[in-house]
């Protein structure tokens, strides 16, 4: 990955919270906890998942950069949504978490050296896992969930 490509991905990563909040603002209150199908997440659950995922991401990039043999631990996101009862977690706190965690990570990303970008560890589910893989994944992560919320809203409107 070139430095220019990384810069573009870091910009997408930085803009993610604005995109997520703008999309959530289009969802009527009555549709927030509506699920499009059994086993599918509501918009509310998507937002809380994003907060938990961002907290994991925050640590993952730091492990990759600062540990000599980084181990990135996977987790069962569907289990978290159920066991942590996402519908009862405050949306405003989840959004604040997403915004704060990303704001705290962007400066780190902007100052990583070439050697740090090339560093790899091991992911318990994916095998070899490096800082550039991390960036590619998380630059897109909130965008993926924005599209999920938009699909939920379309389905809610068509019900």
Q: Give tens-digit pLDDT for 45-98.
A: 999 999 999 999 999 999 999 999 999 999 999 999 999 999 999 999 999 999
Mean pLDDT value of segment 132-153: 97
Query: pTM higher than 0.85 for the full model?
Result: yes
Mean pLDDT value of segment 136-158: 97
Fold classification of 17-22+40-158 (topology level): 1.20.120
Q: What pLDDT was estimated at residue 24?
A: 97
Q: Give tens-digit pLDDT for 88-132.
A: 999 999 999 999 999 999 999 999 999 999 999 999 999 999 999
Burial class (CB in 10 A: 0-12, 13-18, 19+), 84: middle
Q: What average pLDDT does the chain have?
A: 96
Q: Give tens-digit pLDDT for 5-61.
A: 999 999 999 999 999 999 999 999 999 999 999 999 999 999 999 999 999 999 999
Q: What pLDDT was estimated at residue 55?
A: 97
Q: What pLDDT was estimated at residue 141?
A: 97
Asked whether the beta carbons of 129 and 140 are under 8 A apart, the reply is: no
Q: What pLDDT was estimated at residue 32?
A: 97
């Amino acid at each position: 990955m070139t430095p220019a490509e990384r810069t573009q991905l870091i910009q997408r990563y930085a803009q993610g919270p604005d995109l997520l909040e703008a999309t959530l603002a289009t969802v009527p209150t009555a549709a927030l906890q509506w699920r499009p199908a059994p086993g599918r997440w509501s918009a509310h659950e998507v937002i809380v998942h994003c907060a938990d995922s961002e907290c994991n991401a925050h640590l993952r990039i730091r492990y990759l950069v600062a540990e000599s043999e980084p181990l990135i631990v996977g987790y069962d996101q569907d289990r978290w949504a159920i066991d942590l009862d996402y519908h009862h977690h405050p949306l405003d706190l989840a959004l604040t978490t997403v915004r704060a965690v990303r704001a705290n990570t962007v400066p780190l990303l902007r100052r990583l050296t070439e050697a740090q970008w090339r560093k790899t560890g091991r992911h318990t589910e994916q095998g070899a896992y490096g800082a550039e893989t991390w960036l590619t994944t998380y630059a897109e992560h909130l965008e993926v969930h924005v599209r999920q919320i938009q699909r939920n809203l379309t389905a809610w409107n068509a019900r």
